[in-house]
């Protein structure tokens, strides 16, 4: 262990433990691909990566699956794992996808892995354990990496201080919420009573793939214009397109509410809007909209808008976060047995709530590597295991990226492609 960094263990908050238990639902990884306008200095990048393992020490740990109280333990091989190989690929997209799809095991592997693919341009692929960060946390890490990269270039830093006191649990948000809102969230909280899944063609989960499509500036301008004219948010329009794409592709029963697992960034409820450590602060709620045959986009949008507005009042994600925090009171082993029983029931039913993640618009200040210049930034969520599905959307500069992951060895790849295509087709175009 490094003498300058004597702290060896860090507590595992409830969200870390929960995500460790539900890895049978998805591969539990967060990913991004950063495209640069110029060449990166690979030695500076590797050094910045190594420094980041001290600046955010959770990245330099392995997860210890203790039956009572799991924890994170600092590794002793940080110099060996803090590498970012430079690879000249024959097929850039194939090389990126293969790297991003490789499994990452929290008890043995590094919590972060990077590859720099060099063609006419530099493309940096980063994947991290979803137990450690959500999408918001991954964006924060890329910002940190860029800051360290710039500091090294300016000879302003030879090392990074160990972040000893960072709070990584969801309790950092809950403590700022009035008790009356916490109690009210339990009143409105409900478990969805119906679900939908992609048909399974097998049980082999080894074949993991991604789909990415990009919407350019002209189409984005049309969507924004539509939002202004109808006085709705971009978020409502995107959720509406997701619902309608699912209706078309999976054909759920008409006039029966279909729950969609939606996400929100809980950092917005912190006084500063920021955390003091990399963590997973994603909140989950379930807006439900029924399929009405031949209903126009505007009618579905009206129902989705109403559902999202209700959720702002209900804040049912608070109840879920509270239950998560108290769910390990009898120890980790007992919680695992209960969770695995519930997951086995879900698996037997071969259905699962489809998920949609609107990550939002990223600013150029968030992805800043100095004079190298970032030209694009694409995020990929966890690869869900069938019959689950996760559709993600993020925007950077003048592009909007729609991504999804799936196991082509256990489900029909054409259905997932059709879902993305239908999602795009549903978005306003004029």
Residue 209's CB is within 10 A of a number of other CB atoms, namely 17
What's the confidence (pLDDT) of residue 4? 46
* Co-location of 149 and 294 in the same domain: no
* Co-location of 66 and 134 in the same domain: yes
**For residue 365, is it within any domain?**
no
* Co-location of 203 and 268 in the same domain: yes
pLDDT tens digits for range 312-337: 888 889 998 998 888 888 889 988 88
Average pLDDT over residues 240-268: 92
* Co-location of 216 and 348 in the same domain: yes
pLDDT tens digits for range 106-158: 999 999 999 999 999 999 999 999 999 999 999 999 999 999 999 997 666 55
- In three-state form (DSSP H/G/I as H, E/B as E, the rest C), the secondary structure along the chain is CCCCCCCCEEECCHHHHHHHHCCCCECCEEEEEEEECCCCCHHHHHHHHHHHHHHCHHHHEEEECCCCCCEEEECCCHHHHCCCCEECCCCHHHHHHHHHHCCCCCCCCCCEEEEEEECCCEEEEEEEECCCCCHHHHHHHHHHHHHHHHHHHCCCCCCCCCCCCCCCCCHHHHCCCCHHHHHHHHHHCCCCCCCECCCECCCCCCCEEEEEEEECHHHHHHHHHHHHHHCCCHHHHHHHHHHHHHHHHHCCCECCEEECEEEEEHHHHCCCCCCCCCCCCEEEECCEEEECCCCCHHHHHHHHHHHHHHHHHHCCHHHHHHHHHHCCCCCHHHHHHHHHHHHHHHHHHCCECCEEEEEEEECCCCCCCHHHCEEEEEEECCCECCCCCEEEEEEECCEEEEEEEEECCCECHHHHHHHHHHHHHHCCCC
Q: What is the pTM of this model?
A: 0.93
The band of 3, judged by pLDDT with boundaries at 50, 70 and 90, is: very low
What's the confidence (pLDDT) of residue 126? 98
What's the confidence (pLDDT) of residue 51? 93
**For residue 228, is it within any domain?**
yes
Average pLDDT over residues 167-186: 89
Residue 31's CATH number? 3.30.559.10
The band of 387, judged by pLDDT with boundaries at 50, 70 and 90, is: confident
* Co-location of 30 and 144 in the same domain: yes
pLDDT tens digits for range 358-383: 999 999 999 999 999 999 999 999 99
What's the confidence (pLDDT) of residue 158? 59
What's the confidence (pLDDT) of residue 154? 66
Residue 23 is part of which domain span?
9-153
Look at residue 5 and tell me whether its pLDDT is greater than 60: no
**For residue 418, is it within any domain?**
yes
* Co-location of 107 and 210 in the same domain: no
Average pLDDT over residues 306-310: 94
Total number of domains in the chain: 2
**For residue 181, is it within any domain?**
yes
Average pLDDT, the chain: 90
* Co-location of 287 and 399 in the same domain: yes
What's the confidence (pLDDT) of residue 161? 59
Least confident piece of the model among 29-43, 289-303, 309-323: 309-323
* Co-location of 210 and 272 in the same domain: yes
Average pLDDT over residues 382-395: 94
* Co-location of 131 and 237 in the same domain: no
What's the confidence (pLDDT) of residue 56? 93
The percent of residues in the chain predicted with pLDDT above 90, rounded, is 67
**Interatomic CA distance for residues 233 and 261, integer angstroms:** 18
**Interatomic CA distance for residues 322 and 343, integer angstroms:** 20
Look at residue 2 and tell me whether its pLDDT is greater than 60: no
What's the confidence (pLDDT) of residue 165? 65
CB 404 within 8 A of CB 422: no
CB 28 within 8 A of CB 131: yes
**For residue 356, is it within any domain?**
yes
Average pLDDT over residues 173-179: 90
CB 398 within 8 A of CB 392: no
What's the confidence (pLDDT) of residue 1? 38
In DSSP terms, which residues pair with 116 in a beta bridge? 86, 124
What's the confidence (pLDDT) of residue 191? 66
**For residue 373, is it within any domain?**
no
Average pLDDT over residues 210-228: 96
What's the confidence (pLDDT) of residue 273? 85
Look at residue 341 and tell me whether its pLDDT is greater than 90: no
Average pLDDT over residues 393-417: 95
Look at residue 402 and tell me whether its pLDDT is greater than 80: yes
Contacts for 4-7: CB closer than 8 Å, 24+ residues apart: 4/159, 5/54, 5/57, 5/74, 5/162, 7/57, 7/74, 7/162, 7/164
What's the confidence (pLDDT) of residue 201? 87
* Co-location of 76 and 110 in the same domain: yes
What's the confidence (pLDDT) of residue 34? 98
Residue 392's CATH number? 3.30.559.30
* Co-location of 13 and 105 in the same domain: yes
The percent of residues in the chain predicted with pLDDT above 70, rounded, is 93
* Co-location of 249 and 221 in the same domain: yes
**Interatomic CA distance for residues 278 and 52, integer angstroms:** 11
């Amino acid at each position: 262990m490094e003498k300058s960094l004597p702290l060896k263990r860090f507590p595992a908050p409830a969200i870390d433990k929960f995500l460790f238990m539900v890895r049978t639902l998805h591969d539990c990884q967060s990913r991004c691909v950063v495209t640069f306008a110029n060449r990166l200095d690979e030695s500076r990048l590797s050094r910045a990566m190594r420094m980041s393992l001290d600046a955010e020490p959770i990245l330099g740990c392995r997860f210890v699956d203790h039956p009572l109280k799991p924890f994170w333990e600092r590794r002793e091989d940080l110099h060996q794992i803090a590498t970012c190989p430079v690879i000249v690929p024959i097929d850039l997209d194939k090389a990126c996808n293969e790297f991003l799809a490789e499994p990452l095991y929290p008890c043995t592997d590094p919590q972060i892995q990077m590859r720099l693919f060099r063609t006419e341009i530099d493309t940096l692929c980063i994947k991290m354990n979803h137990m450690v960060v959500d999408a918001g946390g991954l964006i924060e890490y890329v910002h940190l990496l860029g800051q360290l990269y710039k500091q090294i270039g300016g000879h302003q830093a030879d090392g990074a201080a160990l972040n000893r006191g960072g709070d990584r649990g969801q309790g950092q948000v809950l403590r700022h919420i009035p008790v009356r809102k916490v109690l009210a969230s339990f009143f409105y909280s409900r478990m969805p009573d119906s679900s939908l899944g992609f048909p399974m063609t097998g049980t082999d989960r080894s074949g993991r793939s991604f789909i990415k499509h990009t919407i350019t500036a002209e189409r984005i301008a049309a969507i924004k214009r539509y939002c202004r004219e109808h006085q709705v948010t971009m978020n409502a329009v995107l959720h509406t397109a997701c619902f309608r794409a699912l209706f078309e592709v999976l054909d759920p029963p008409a006039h029966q509410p279909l729950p969609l697992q939606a996400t929100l960034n809980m950092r917005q409820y912190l006084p500063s809007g920021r955390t003091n450590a990399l963590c997973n602060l994603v909140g989950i709620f379930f807006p439900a909209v029924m399929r009405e045959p031949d209903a126009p986009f505007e009618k579905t949008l009206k129902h989705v808008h109403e559902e999202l507005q209700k959720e702002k009042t209900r804040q049912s994600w608070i109840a879920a976060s509270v239950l998560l925090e108290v769910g390990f009171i009898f120890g980790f082993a007992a919680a695992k047995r209960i969770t695995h029983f519930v997951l086995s029931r879900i698996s037997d039913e071969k259905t699962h709530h489809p998920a949609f993640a609107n990550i939002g618009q990223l600013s150029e200040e968030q992805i800043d590597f100095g004079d190298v210049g970032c030209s694009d930034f694409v995020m990929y969520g966890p690869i869900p295991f069938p019959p689950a599905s996760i559709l993600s959307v993020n925007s950077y500069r003048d592009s909007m990226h729609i991504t999804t992951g799936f196991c082509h060895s256990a489900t029909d790849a054409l259905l997932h492609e059709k879902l993305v295509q239908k999602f795009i087709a549903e978005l306003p175009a004029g």
